Amino acid sequence: MSLPLIEPDLGLLREGRVLIDVRAPVEFAQGALPGAVNLPLMDDEERHLVGIEYKRRGQDAAIAMGERLVSGGIKAGRVAAWARLIESHPDAIVYCFRGGLRSQVAQQWLADVGISRPRIRGGWKAMRQALCTRIDAAAEQPLLVVGGLTGCAKTSLIQALDQGLDLEACARHKGSAFGRHPLPAPSQIDFEHAMGRRLLDLPGPVVVEDESRHIGAANVPLAFWRGMEAAPRVRVEMPLDWRLAQIHKDYIDDLWEIHRHQFGDWLGWRLMRKQLANALARLRKRLGGARLARLQRLQALAFREHERGNRQAHEAWLAPLLTEYYDPMYRYQLEKHDHQRFLHVGDWDSCLAFARDWVADAERAGEPRAATPA
């Protein structure tokens, strides 16, 4: 019986097809395809033992060992798990690392119980190559970069655009010392795959936030990063009190909601305090010992006041964090890149309007409009 194949087409991801990843859990954790569910043919220990046998005695012996390890009730349980998922998602597709032996075995076992599903030709590797190619190609598309001081709600501006690529969301990190998400960061591979998946929906102009190449634990792929560096820019400028309210929302209110949702009130509060205290401590080199100690005292007092119902107490340490750390750092970066000119400088609303006009012009003309630098 011929086992059906399907080409490694990124349209499968755009369609939201459910993918059955039959690789071992350790491989899945290193990076999976968007929309994939890990239902392995072999668990990590079984894969390890088969790998040793392959090195010692070759492929046939390794296959025989795999058949012994995954047999009887274990085999039946794994086939049943695939079948249950396919019952809920009849168009599901199977893949392994290269679309070879493991996905073929899964297909055959499914066929033995009357279920026929295709596997991806070339497997995970072919699909990953296609996603990385998509990211590199996006570096040649019209790009607009949104800059501005911390607290100018640049991420919200990106999210308000249909053509926005939210790199921080892909990295699960807000791109600063205080931007760590309570949940584990994605692997570098998963970050790239999230980028590539979003770019499948953005064939024309793309708007991104001005980021360093490193966003938390993730690195923006080099070709795309170079495209960002060369791209035209807009700069959001907002008053200090507006920015202070924004980082209070980001660093306190939103972070607390995430912690409370994930861990409950008691543990969530303690984990949030620990995260913010550690984030501040990591700035010792840049702030200096005396300034750090002052901010740490203010932060500790703010948390005590917060527990009494005064959330605004955090402004006592957030305000100097903005003016003494983030603002000088951003202005230093501007001086380093003084050759870059901005197409537009203005408040949040005017920058959003400009970005929308720029996108519309780029879509009509196939390239960004030539604007007079500010």
DSSP state of 2: P
Active site residues: 96
Is residue 371 one of the residues assigned to a domain?
Answer: no
DSSP string, 162-195: TTEE-HHHHHTB-SSTT-B-SSPPPPHHHHHHHH
Q: In one letter, which amino acid is 84?
A: R
CATH of the domain at 159: 3.40.50
User: Mean pLDDT in each 10-residue stretch from start to end of the chain (374 residues)?
Assistant: 89 94 96 95 93 90 90 95 96 94 94 95 97 96 94 95 95 72 85 96 95 90 95 94 94 90 93 92 89 94 93 93 89 70 93 97 70 42
Kindly report the backbone phi and psi dihedral angles of residue 122, in degrees, each rounded to the nearest multiple of 5, phi listed first.
Answer: 85, -10
Task: Quote the pLDDT of residue 332.
Answer: 79
CATH of the domain at 98: 3.40.250.10
How many structural domains compose the chain? 3
Task: Quote the pLDDT of residue 53.
Answer: 92
Q: Which residues contact 16 (CB under 8 A, 6 or more apart)?
A: 35
Range of the domain at 38: 5-130
Is residue 50 one of the residues assigned to a domain?
Answer: yes
- Exposure string for 189-202, b = 16+ CB within 10 A, e = fewer: bbbbbbbbbbbbeb
Number of helices (H) and strands (E), helices first, in the chain?
19, 12
DSSP string, 108-121: HHHHHTT----EET
Domain co-membership, 23 together with 125: yes
> What is the pTM (predicted TM-score) of this model?
0.89
Count other C-beta atoms under 10 Å from residue 262's C-beta.
13
Is residue 333 one of the residues assigned to a domain?
Answer: no
